[in-house]
Amino acid sequence: MEYKKRFTIKAFDQKGDRPLELSRPGNMKSHPWSYMELPFDPEYELYNNRMTPASLNNITPDEQYWAVRTGVILRNTGEFPVEISGKDAFKFANYIFTRDVNKIKSGRCSYQFACYHDGGMITDGVLLKIEEDKYWFAQADGDLFSWYKAHSKNMDVEIKDPEVWVSQIQGPLSMKLLENIAEDFSENDWKYFDWKELQILDQKVIISRSGFTNELGWEIYFRPENETEKIGDYILEEGKKLGMILVATPGFRCRRIEAGLLSAGQDFTKKTNPFSVGLGRFINFDKEDFIGKEALMKSDKKCKTWGIRVAKGTAIKGESIKINEKNIGKITSSTWSPYQICGVGIVHLDNNENGPGDIVDVKCTDGKVHKGEICKLPMYDAKGEIVRGLNRNIPKVPNPWPGIKTTN
């Protein structure tokens, strides 16, 4: 069973006179800040052929959750920025992605995704307009690089790996930390999804006001010329003054599920189109042709992806959800919420007949079948006020879900 077995990568020391070698080390790259994780017996998973921490022994998943909700955390990611540059950079990006790239101003980011010709989704990420003819697309897991190469024929465009790495600093104290470490910076200087080149010590780095938690936060992009350990040690030192904690994937999973942030390869795949997973608003049909446009115009526009709460257990990822013994969909992401004190997840339904409010049966990690209720996403902060810094009244204690209402 998937929930009983997991496979990870372990760090090890080179010992003796027989150095260990990997046949293709480029397929398993370590983050420049991975040295921070080594004291905590890290286990890694691959994400874009980059290692990202799946677990650390310094903190429990519940403690990670509350750290990002109420304090500040640091996580080294496997996001993969690919550089698109050249005379036809805009034309190419506008053909690859479903949103109108022309609307992105300098100093701004844009959530984007790419589709196959049949409308199935490849992956998503954040597009940064670096210069007039240069973009970085910091992508989620998936092979877009080969897709770029296959569709750049007859265009004056260069596709390359700029060897940039990304880390996320998230939580309500994240902006305070950035104000403390960056020269001439104030939180009031930028808005959600802005990016800036800032100076930390004597290093110029790119910072974007984005993340994968739906909490206040920012992401830092390291270029090859940066002295990464120098920057990292300084951020760790200053972060500790605010109680910053290094975290792994579990600290993000619950927050992104509650926020309705979809994970590439899990909550959407090549078999799902953007409308079926609730992302139809990120398609601009009024722009020039883009890959998948014709298929998407003809596709069913109704959403089949929702949240789920389970009162007495955590649903098993990949398990079917049922009503009266009939399969109506499956669990695509799942975990336990320390805030709602219940299992939470994301579900993809087989049809449009079911949706929020439906009571379902689902098998959970305790081996038992429990009742769950399909719900809307996000599960709270529907207007996204927290991530934009408009709501600083962050809950510090659990607010248990009252459970499924019963009728006599």
Q: What is the pLDDT of residues 144-181, one digit of tens each?
A: 999 999 999 999 999 999 999 999 999 999 999 999 99
Neighbours of 270 (CB within 10 A): 15
* Euclidean distance between CA atoms 292 and 301, whole angstroms: 14
pLDDT of 316 reads 96
Average confidence (pLDDT) per 10 residues, the chain, 408 residues: 61 64 67 96 93 93 95 96 98 98 94 98 97 96 93 96 97 97 92 97 97 96 97 98 94 91 96 97 96 97 97 95 97 97 98 95 96 97 93 93 76
Q: Provide the pLDDT for residue 401.
A: 96
pLDDT, tens only, 305-315: 999 999 999 99
Cis amide bond preceding 378, omega within 30: yes
**Which residue ranges form the domains of the chain, and what is each CATH number?**
9-78+164-254 (3.30.1360.120), 304-408 (2.40.30.110)
Within 13 A of 256's CA, how many CA atoms are on the CB side? Answer: 19
CA–CA gap between residue 389 and residue 373 (Å, rounded):
30
What are 40-61's pLDDT values in tens digits? 999 999 999 999 999 999 999 9
pLDDT of amino acid 22:
55
Instruction: Quote the CA–CA distance of 385 and 391 in Å, as a whole number.
Output: 5
d(CA 206, CA 165): 11
d(Cα 332, Cα 314) in Å, to the nearest integer?
12
Task: Give the number of other CB atoms < 10 A from CB of residue 326.
Answer: 10
CA–CA gap between residue 381 and residue 390 (Å, rounded)? 11
Cα–Cα distance measured from residue 217 to residue 72, given in angstroms and rounded to the nearest whole number:
9
| pLDDT reported for residue 252 | 81
Which residues are CB-neighbours of 212 under 8 A, at least 6 positions away? Answer: 77, 168, 170, 252, 256, 261
Res 12: pLDDT: 62
| pLDDT at residue 15 in the model | 64
Query: Which residues, in sequence order, are CB contacts of 56 under 8 Å at separation 6+?
Result: 37, 40, 41, 42, 246, 247, 248
Amino acid identity, position 58: N
pTM across the whole model: 0.93
Name 304's Cβ contacts closer than 8 Å, sequence gap at least 6.
276, 277, 329, 348, 349, 350, 351, 352
